[in-house]
Structure 1
């Protein structure tokens, strides 16, 4: 980002590319690696099929038939999010197919133990998100690959208390609600991952696209946040949508179905 962002909660955002951490209302951060522990078996909802965007070969995606946005009316089971955990993490021990073109970025996925969320299944879902026809990889903004080690950045899903501790180590106050980003990668608050956002019209599964697309947007060099591009228009993925939509409609993808980049005015 290369500048200080003053948020409603007084959080400070500093660009990842500059080597410093930032926390904000949309989701991002990381702390030191923790010991691995046993995974669990909660299964995220797989999205149904959607035709690929214009000019996109669906076969280029490793899971092309499963990359569509989740149905907004799909029911979900009651979700209980633990407020804290042991602070140890399970790493998804798998290597995925490379997707996209451009600068390669290798990432690993870790999930805090005792959360009821499987690291392997979370990694599979994140892999689908990054390979989605409306995401970064499909439009030449980078090549992404899931790995178990030697990663360029880490995506870590943690309970609110653990996420706060990891972010606080970087001088960030996430107050049990927010995600944060540091020089190591991304810390996702389990509450946001499982429950979504009260300002987002869509399922938590769809909101997870927004979390990952927003944070990976910072990873690929988009330093600044955006505002609403006009009433009734889809909100940019680089907008901090949890703060409010300002007349825009909820949106979880960088590009629309025709391949047009969704953007708005830069905000400080």
Structure 2
């Protein structure tokens, strides 16, 4: 049960368990925001291979987690949501009922120059959900840089693997820095789905679903901005081996016309080099 308290900065001294939880704002997974929440500008991006991920110290036990080995390992889910709050970046982590307090994760985010200003933990039928409301420590504003957003994602996944080594077999990142690489051939077995639809006269909604890998968020944004399409805001979900991206995009302040939509789809498919289908699973 959540108990109200003042804004929680990850600069607080480490303790074994947080003594109380801050109720986070009501958030939805939709795209109802009318104000652009972050703008990716062409020329800002460098190679995604240079991202440095702060490491958390491995831990032997997970606080408040289920340590028993079971036949079914839950699918790890990490959601980075730029739409639900105009002032902060919302991050949600789910891994069945096995997640603990994740104080090491919060300290690792601090090393990226970030503050966790609100936090909430709740349990439902799908598992235990940890939600963090994140801002940049130097400005107090939400994260806008796609490279920093990708660093946040990889930091969280890396720390998830440190807490739960069994999760690395469920994550594409397990092949990069996990203890157990995924058994599936993710480059071959996961198809890519891309759809573009109008989202009013001023922008379009782009869906991309593909096999996950380090640096994917930065690479997707670079491809989009390289053909002079602006990314206003969106959501990036990591669901096990699968990555799902939802971007509000526009071309010179207008929705993307059909010929340019095809150029964008072709560019993304060429880069992703995955089996393609016409239907999306969104």
TM-score (norm 2): 0.28
More strand by share: 2
Larger radius of gyration: 2
**Whose relative contact order is higher, 1 or 2, with alpha carbons under 8 Å and at least 6 apart?**
1
TM-score (norm 1): 0.30
